[in-house]
Structure 1
Amino acid sequence: MLKIGSVVDNKYKILNEIGHGGMSTVYLAMNERANKQWAIKEIRKEKFANEDIVYDSIRSETELLKNLSHPNLPSIIDIIDYEGSILIVMDYIEGNTLRKALEEYGPQPQEYVIQWAKQLCDVLGYLHSQNPPIIYRDLKPSNIMLKPDGTIVLIDFGTARRFNTENNEDTTCLGTRGYAAPEQFGGYGQTDGRTDIYCLGTTIYHLLTGKNPSEPPYEIYPIRYWDESFSQGLEKIIIKCTQADPNRRYQNAYSLLYDLEHYDELDSEYRRKEKIKLISFILVVVLCIANAVGAATCHFYGKHVQTNAYETYLVDAEKGQSLDDMREAYIETISINPEEADAYIRLIERVYLEDNIFSEDEASEIRGILINQSNGHTYEELLQKNKLGYQMFSYQLGMAYFYNYEGTGNKQLSAYWLKKAAEGELPESQTARAERLGAIADYYTSLGMMDKTGDSKVSFKDYWSDLISVSEGNIVKDDNANTALVIYKEVASQICVYADRFNKDGVSYGEMELALMEIENHVQDDIEKAKVEKTDRIVELEEELEKNIEKARQVISLNKQETSK
């Protein structure tokens, strides 16, 4: 075991023990050079029969996690072979596990559990979207940290693995009995994303009822067996999650997320009312068909009515007295014709980005809209039939993730949509910008790792070139003034943060100053002289850009002074 007060790898001072399990101990450590706290997980090699295989396995799994970036995942920055132990250095997460919450307070309120479950769906969906997918396999309350702000973080990736399409079954049975799916112990092939769905179902069950599935009676009862006040819809969700046959569960995390966001609509009373509405609608349809002149005429007229209704709803949405009114109107417009892109795009531009923040709730809502179904197809599948429209939507969504997610942007989450946007139907300038922003998203992953370890893992010269390429040309003409100003702000911001590293990698301070001047010229020529309408948002962005440029020049000046000493 590590000694309190000892220093590991010449930089991590062990402060105290903060956790202990069957195979590992977790310590709080301080990197005294960086004045930052980390958690260090110690895994004793003596616990395993074959040290080499275990070490290789842990290293490979840790390496894959180092490349991930998600608000509900800890950052893992290092793995150290140290005196008979394997040490994993990761973010220190302030808070307690949900297991401790259960031990101290008993069953948790339904509304809290649903919010936690939705966050878990989002992080599982992110893991499963990796190529190849990452399967967590040991979801349970003791592996979920609850932070003081109410957000959760998924910890302990000791059993995580990459999905291998060539495997028929797993070679090892890992997971916690009671929470784990049947396939983790043989019987239904290898584990995949649906395995984590099962584990999430058992975890929700435990948090709601306080009944540990790893203890007697070792069964998952319907939650209303324990408390009739629980939602019937939530009970149905848990039952579907915990089906023994993976084919009968939710097939992906986002389908589960959608139902969690609409769990009350699965209740019997709600469904009864909807059934009455459906019967009424069917009667109307039958009467229409009975009076129709012919199938062809009905089809033509139906298309005509659908198009007119779509355009009418789209225009009416612009007249919404509040953002909520506009949001509901755009979503309703989408449901009229999911193949048209305008309503999706305007929902993002005019509602989600009205405050320049693309929130986690808004991102979750648009994902939920995309998995809605019409005539046996998801809305996203229907929108994909309109290739240009789908790429325009993908471009807008990718930009929202890149620059606006949670106010600061999330480059990793933008990559999928930017790749879709760059597939060729958009104008050349937008296609090129989507490709470059996708490349920059990869830089951000490496930049984040570098900041934590102190080791350079990226060429700042290449990063600078791509960053400047994105800002070239008349972005106002190609896109709009909002997009142009957001991109210019990003360039100035990166100079503020990385000016010295750009310089050390061969970018002169003169080049940086020239880039700032070019940005000011673009604002003057493409916005001011072109007499672009000055909305409140454009005025706000111009003011923010001016501050960023001023700060960037101050940073450049200070760095030049330091260099000249």
Structure 2
Amino acid sequence: MLENGMIVDGKYKILNKIGRGGMSTVYLAMNERANRQWAIKEIQKKGNRYYRTMREELLAETDILKRLDHPNLPKIADVLEYKDIFLIVMDYIEGRPLSLTLQEQGAQSQEVVVAWAKQLCDVLEYLHSRKPPIIYRDMKPANIMLRPDGRVMLIDFGTAREYKEEHVEDTICLGTVGYAAPEQFGGNGQTDARTDIFCLGRTLYHLLTGHNPCMPPYEIYPIRHWNPQLSSGLEEIIWKCVQNDPQERYQSCAELLYALEHYREFDVECKRQQQKKWRIFVCSAVCTLAFAAGAVGFRCAEEKTVRNSYERVMKEASSSVTREKQIANYRKAIALNPRKADAYELLLEKVFLTDDNFSQEEAAMMLEILQQRGMNKKDYLSVLESEQNAYGKVAFRIGIAYFYYYEGEGNKQLSGRWFVDAAKSETLEEHQRMRAKMLGKIAGYYAQLNRNDRAGDSKVTYREYWEDLTELTKGNIVAIDNEKTALVMYQELVYQIGQNADKFYAEGVKREEMSEQLEKVKERLRTDLTIQNRGAQKKIEKKKEELVKNISWAEEEVKTICTIRNR
């Protein structure tokens, strides 16, 4: 059994246990050299009478996942088998399962559910378009992870199968009762794309109504039976998904996606409103002239009131004694004026990052605030994006929070989109735009490098990566930004040289070039990192020591690789 602090396969350090199933345990692990977290699923052989069956299912699952490349699917890094245990190393998905969201919050808003549904349609359509098609068969809230950036990830491929044209029905009937389609239990032909559409329909039903189809009364009702405020168009779409006869469902996820994108057009209310529009037109025209003059005065008064209220709430937030009160006041200020950057920035700096840790819960709360809708029905993120001055500042701060502080370690990939947006801002200070650009490039490579496109070709070459890495570390980064940024950039360069020396060398990067860059980093540590910020002296000295050790390791890797290649 794995334990905290253990090193697996010489590179994965076990941090803590994050999940447990009937016959497996999942751990959070860190590849410290790469500064990247992974999830490791452990299956014990000893005393597990189902081990052989489970092993075959897991090998099938990993075989499927290794061949897939989609932003809403996890990646498999390693499959390790020892004497007593079987380990699968896969992407660690930051976030929480939608089953937990339902448990804590109940039914979700239809706008949010439709946004999730569109992503799920896209990933299912991708699976169904493989050759042969892959049928997922176990769509349910527990198998959907919601990331802090709003993206949903489809996990657990233990029941997925490849569609076989020559088969009359599935060899093994698998799925979760309540969500599974009738054909998953045998006697109705083999499962296909329409099976996943049924499971997705049942899942959306649960998310929209809060009523679990696995629990009494078991029977599925139209969603407006539970909540009359829900869209009648959306009700019609879900009802079609969950028909027992596959012929009566949507025949592809592309067809379902189109319906979801136009669900408002199906609304009965929408049709009625079209008929009413013409009736109220004349009255509206007359009233408009009458109200126009008064509206200007009311608008000015309203803006003054909002401005005064915003400033008052911000003062209350800064003087709040408890963390809960601070959060409540900053949220109130954002609701009063979502176009201003101050409340977002101070919520991050004065509340979330005071302990140098941007937790999953805090990231989820920040995302939830940005997705909240105001009186004009627009979410706060959209409103903020319309104010480029404010948005650039907020995007930069959120990027910093993810890159340096997420879960105490930082997460480069989650910071990427925020730095890309911040780098485009014309109102940020020059050094901030430079910093956003540099850190955004690193985040982008973590997402792109080694990921193959659908044709199997690499999206980026290691020569290109080398040129960008060396460009990013030119000049005195401490003078441009600060010590922390400099150490992050140097650490990234050193680690990538040590980790990918063979790939760089294969694409024309000479041993002398790699050695020269490592020497430059040594020189920068001696000349540039004088540590002006005495409060951070101990932390920076520790990071310098770690970096010096990594330089020695990278030098040995370069020497070994180049010696082998030249034989």
Give the TM-score normalised by structure 2.
Answer: 0.54
Partner of 1:360: 360
Tell me if 1:546 matches 2:541: yes
Identify the match of residue 442 of structure 1 among 444, 450, 474. 444
Residue 549 of structure 1: SS of its match in structure 2?
helix
Partner of 2:60: 42
Change (3 A) 1:523 1:298: farther
Partner of 1:409: 410
CA distance in 1, matches of 2:423, 2:516: 32
CA distance in 2, matches of 1:241, 1:560: 65
1:495, 1:552 within 8 Å by CA — same for their partners in 2? no
Give the TM-score normalised by structure 1.
Answer: 0.54
Tell me if 1:490 matches 2:488: yes
Residue 338 of structure 1 deviates from its aligned partner by: 0.7
Partner of 2:388: 387
Change (3 A) 1:217 1:345: closer
Change (3 A) 1:476 1:220: farther
Residue 348 of structure 1: SS of its match in structure 2?
helix
Residue 509 of structure 1 deviates from its aligned partner by: 3.6
Residue 409 of structure 1: SS of its match in structure 2?
coil
Amino acid at match of 1:440: I
Partner of 1:399: 400
Partner of 2:296: 296
CA distance in 2, matches of 1:354, 1:192: 46
What does 1:524-539 correspond to in 2, within 5 Å?
A: 524=530, 528=532, 539=535
User: What are the Cα deviations for residues 176-227 of structure 1, in whole angstroms up to 9, with x where unaligned?
Assistant: 6731599x99999995997485175499755xxxx736xx9641489xxxxx
What does 1:475-514 correspond to in 2, within 5 Å?
A: 484-494=482-492, 497-501=495-499, 503-504=501-502, 505=504, 506=511, 507-514=513-520
Tell me if 1:245 matches 2:236: yes
Residue 362 of structure 1 deviates from its aligned partner by: 1.0
CA distance in 2, matches of 1:522, 1:131: 51
CA distance in 2, matches of 1:489, 1:20: 49
1:17, 1:25 within 8 Å by CA — same for their partners in 2? no
Residue 397 of structure 1 deviates from its aligned partner by: 1.4
Structure 2 unaligned spans of 5+:
1-42, 80-85, 93-98, 126-135, 146-152, 163-173, 185-190, 241-255, 258-292, 453-457, 505-510
1:117, 1:200 within 8 Å by CA — same for their partners in 2? yes
User: What are the Cα deviations for residues 379-433 of structure 1, in whole angstroms up to 9, with x where unaligned?
Assistant: 1121122122112212221232223221222222223223322334344554454
Change (3 A) 1:17 1:26: farther
1:194, 1:246 within 8 Å by CA — same for their partners in 2? no
Identify the match of residue 214 of structure 2 among 212, 215, 225. 212
Change (3 A) 1:42 1:180: closer
Residue 309 of structure 1 deviates from its aligned partner by: 2.8
RMSD: 5.9
Change (3 A) 1:157 1:486: farther
Change (3 A) 1:377 1:17: farther
Partner of 2:273: none
Residue 336 of structure 1 deviates from its aligned partner by: 1.2
CA distance in 1, matches of 2:91, 2:113: 16
Aligned residues: 403
1:359, 1:406 within 8 Å by CA — same for their partners in 2? yes
Partner of 2:521: 515
Residue 42 of structure 1: SS of its match in structure 2?
helix
User: What are the Cα deviations for residues 217-266 of structure 1, in whole angstroms up to 9, with x where unaligned?
Assistant: 641489xxxxxxxxxxxx869x99997534899x99xxxxxxxxxxxxxx
1:19, 1:26 within 8 Å by CA — same for their partners in 2? no
Change (3 A) 1:219 1:485: farther
1:403, 1:486 within 8 Å by CA — same for their partners in 2? no
CA distance in 1, matches of 2:198, 2:416: 23
Residue 91 of structure 1: SS of its match in structure 2?
strand
CA distance in 2, matches of 1:329, 1:554: 46
Partner of 1:154: 155
Partner of 2:95: none
2:359, 2:407 within 8 Å by CA — same for their partners in 1? yes
1:360, 1:405 within 8 Å by CA — same for their partners in 2? yes
Change (3 A) 1:199 1:403: farther
Residue 340 of structure 1 deviates from its aligned partner by: 1.1
Identify the match of residue 55 of structure 2 among 21, 27, 50. 27
Change (3 A) 1:142 1:395: closer
